[in-house]
Amino acid sequence: MEERKVTAVFRLEKKIAFVTGAGSGIGESIARLFAQQGAHVVLADVREDAARRVAGEIQETGGSARVQSLDVAEESQVKAAIEQVAALEGRLDILVNNAGISHVGSLLETSLEDWERLMRVNACGVFLCAREGVRQMLAQSPHGGTIINMASVAAMIGIERRLPYCASKGAVLALTRSIAIDFATQGIRCNAICPGTVQTPFVEGYLARNFAGHEDEVRQQLHARQPIGRMGQSDEIAYAALYLASDEAAFVTGSAIVIDGGWTAK
């Protein structure tokens, strides 16, 4: 794909951004783009080595970034991470809750352990990060901040054999709307992005784990289920996050931006 050129709008000069799951895929693209647009980015990931690779490349191209080792499902780690942002960066302007995991299975194919694992990372992780992020943003009053939650089209429609994933992303969408309403008058915006299937290491790992030996066949199915005829690219999601993070989106809160190649329009 041709490289997109960003204009002078949607700049994030001197803003402090905290991006979870920033070591690969959509989170990596968001971290890179935010740094390109002038933000100092904290790359948070349970895979610290992956985040260090991305942060190093951002720094090599003149961007500002540091790494935060973080398991979003661990309350003590989340609290410590946001406290460190306050101590090192002085404030938190943008929180991107992107970290997530997947599971293949219907109701009868999902164990309680599977359910709890998905909800712990995908829903509880967003709850914990958003809660600590809001506390910090309120302490910065009147400056506030903005939260971007990575939901999914799975929050809006049923997808075959994706029960706990759909449920967890539905929770993310509900959290987004509740946070937006509760803090709309206190300088905090909260929005969600609902991607369709995006071609990332996350998806490739899902194929390898669940469809070993049939990856090409299933990959083509993933391309074909979106009317536009292909999976999305991570930078296409990152540009939506950039808009939501920017001052140009000052009137946008409680929204869910769908980026799915027409999947949910069918």
Q: Distance of CA 82 to CAs 64, 70, 121, Å?
A: 18, 10, 17
Q: Is 165 a catalytic residue?
A: yes
| CA-wise closest residue to 25 among 235, 261, 165, 243 | 235
List alpha helices for the chain, DSSP H: 25-36, 48-60, 75-88, 112-118, 125-139, 163-183, 201-210, 215-224, 234-245
Catalytic residue chosen out of the listed positions 165, 206, 239, 243: 165
Q: Does residue 125 sit in helix, strand or coil? A: helix
Nearest 5°: the CA angle 153, 195, 10 is 140
C-alpha count within 13 angstroms, C-beta hemisphere, residue 123: 18
- Whether the CB-CB separation of 181 and 136 falls below 8 Å is answered with no
Quickly tell me which residue has 């951004």 as its tokens. Answer: 17
Catalytic machinery residues:
165
